[in-house]
Structure 1
Amino acid sequence: MPTYDVSSIGFYVCDILGRPVTRIPDGGRADYIQEIRMTVAGTAGATAADCAILGLKTLAVTTVGEDEMGDFMVAKLTRFGVDCAMVARDGSVQTSATILPVRPNGERPALHVPGTAATFRIPEGRLDAALDARIVHVGGTGLLKSFDGAPTVEALRRAKELGRITTFDLIQATPETFELVRPCLPYIDYFVPSIEEASEMAGTTDPAEVARFFKGLGVKNAILTMGGEGVYVSPEAGEDFRLPAHAIEVVDTTGCGDSFTAGVIVGLARGWDLRDCCRFASAVAARVAMGLGSDGKLVSFEDTIEAMNTLPLRAN
């Protein structure tokens, strides 16, 4: 019996966010804004934090720097209840970090330092320890320079050998990223990219065609997040379906896709069917979008269930 509900492997980044930002002041002048936060983020980091907030026993598998931001990341994850026993420290580079000036409409351009994201590897002899969970999530392919490619494929292949459920997301996808992703696809049970990133790799923007493309290459379930348009789901068995997004006032879209993945993982851990997993995941993403940063206004499983049942849905 695995020790953890979920192991979240890969891209963890320290986000420094401010809102609302309408311009960069001239010269050395200052503008005054409403809010600044520092958060644990990333395609694996935000997912780990949100899974823990939602009640799962969560293992973090990543590398951070031997610096103040690395200290913050470990302390914050630990406060959420994430086990950081497999968070390595690397003194040769800084902790991966991003500055995000968030616009009034929730969009956020990014200034990013790859840092430890580029040096992360699962230590030799520790792969099975990293996979000691019912669900194994790999997030961040495309920015994990040392882990992308064969090490990622081996981790996913071994996860399936051990009987784990696998979920997968990437970041900053380009057509070139597809060469890293393609050999992973046969080992992915739930592929949860944004429609924009999936389209870059599939060469089409039609959700049904994108889903068929990835399922044809081995993915069992394709779940395409589409922002305000909701989600398109192509399950392993049964008909494809769409679910609408919640009608909310968006504060910040940072981490919405990562939090959606966390919601899917929570549903899978609880044995729900895929439609209910995605309904819950949509509520998780909505609660995140209602605040600043990758955990936003996400506070508990119970609060999110209430949001799922009471927040209005968008009419698409």
Structure 2
Amino acid sequence: MFSGLSVFPLTPMKRGEVDAAAFIRLVERLGEASVDSIGALGSTGNYAYLCREERARVARLAVKHAGDVPVIVGISALRTREVLALAEDAQKAGASAVLLAPMSYQKLSDAEVFELYETVTRHLSVPLCVYDNPATTHFEFSDELHGRIAQLPNVGSIKMPAVSATYDAAKARIERLRGLVPPHVTLGASGDPFAATELNAGCEAWYSVIGGLFPRTALAITRASQAGDAREVWRLSEQLQPLWTLFSQYGGSLRVVAAAAELAGLADFPCLPLPLKSLEGAGRQRLSQLLDTLQLA
């Protein structure tokens, strides 16, 4: 579950409500592709824009329609009380694991973040993946804090942001973390444009955005990594460079992936919770051309 390809689908919206039919289609598609796990209610799943009842419903739908694929459910929220309630909902839904980022409005200290994970892990009966995402949480984990949190019960993986664009720097950081976390805690690549670097540098998992929409494309990269074929990992990822460029131009992956889902007929337009919007105008036209050229699957 915390190795190989873990994919993070959108939670499509329709007229301000969760589009259950579209979400089910996405999840079933992922199950049929035999990904290693499905991450519901991650950042791409728009967890921060949904209420508790909506999130509980999405968790139930994900587990019900994932087939034999394990489901990791995001439980991040501003208050510890809310996180614990979401963890309870996820476990009742049958989640195989949960994903937790230190969300905040006021900037958190290391002590506050450690206490959050310490409290939550005491109340879990399933494993937890630490979600390190400074682009949205504005919290920077130190390697030492990762090491302390990784010693807590039920912690099974760390979903890391892009470590570095260079292989040597990524490998050095991963090796440093390896010396701080227990052997059973895996390190997972996140930030799709840099995933090839991190996989080749030693990450055991890829927590993938594009995999949530185009699982077979992401699986090809992941399986090449698992086979030790670093050259093939680079080659396949470099083919997607025009897509990575769009991610950079439009503030990350979410708007691009949402537009891709709309263009592919996997979600209705518009599919993001307002005020968010997917690509429009020239960006949307460029993406449409790329989808035809890249032949993503």
| TM-score range normalised by the length of the shorter chain | 0.3 to 0.5
TM-score of the superposed pair, with normalisation by structure 2: 0.41
TM-score of the superposed pair, with normalisation by structure 1: 0.39
> Comparing both structures, which one devotes a greater share of its residues to helix?
2
> Comparing both structures, which one devotes a greater share of its residues to strand?
1
